[in-house]
Amino acid sequence: MRRHGAVLVGVLFLVPSIGQAQGTAIELGTGIGASILSAGGTLTLIGAPGAGVRGQAPLYVSFILPSGFMIQPETSFNIVTGGGETLTTISVATNAGFLFSRAATNSAYAAMSGALQFASFSGSSDSEFAVGARLGYRMLVNPGFAVSIEGGYRRWLDSDLNEITIALRLGGILSAGR
């Protein structure tokens, strides 16, 4: 588990060097959507913003090279309180994929995903790692705004939990690339 987390955090530190590459498009955004979690029973989570790691609100940044290669780290933070108890979760994920057209055009994309979630409840804490994939379509609304429609699947390895998401992602384009 710690090795998976170290690899994921290592990738997050490499991302800024990718952003320095000439012609890299940079997009910052969030999304709305739904997550369906199942492990025996089914739990549906709908969030606005949502459809991040386990249905939490994501904040993402995409680095898209002119070739269409994309690295997309995302994070989410959640606190739920009730009955004198508090659940806190912090999640990080990295999606690495490919836009089938260039970054400056509308394009379908596919990405592999790795996620790590840290949770704390009533003084105890735990972490878990997941792997999965996403398919989507990214549309440039104008030179400063992109909308993506995507679906994804993740398998949480320790809890044998399946996560299926659908999302509408809204991103501001900070650098358009070429």
- Structural domains in the chain, CATH included, are 2-176 (2.40.160.20)
**pTM surpassing 0.85?**
no
Ramachandran area for residue 57 (φ above 0: left; ψ -120 to 50: alpha; else beta): beta
Confidence of residue 53 (pLDDT cuts 50, 70, 90): low
Q: What confidence tens digit (pLDDT) does each residue in 149-162 have?
A: 999 999 989 888 88
Summarised one tens digit per residue, pLDDT across range 70-102 is: 999 999 888 888 888 888 888 899 999 999 987
Q: Give 16's pLDDT tier (boundaries 50, 70, 90).
A: very low
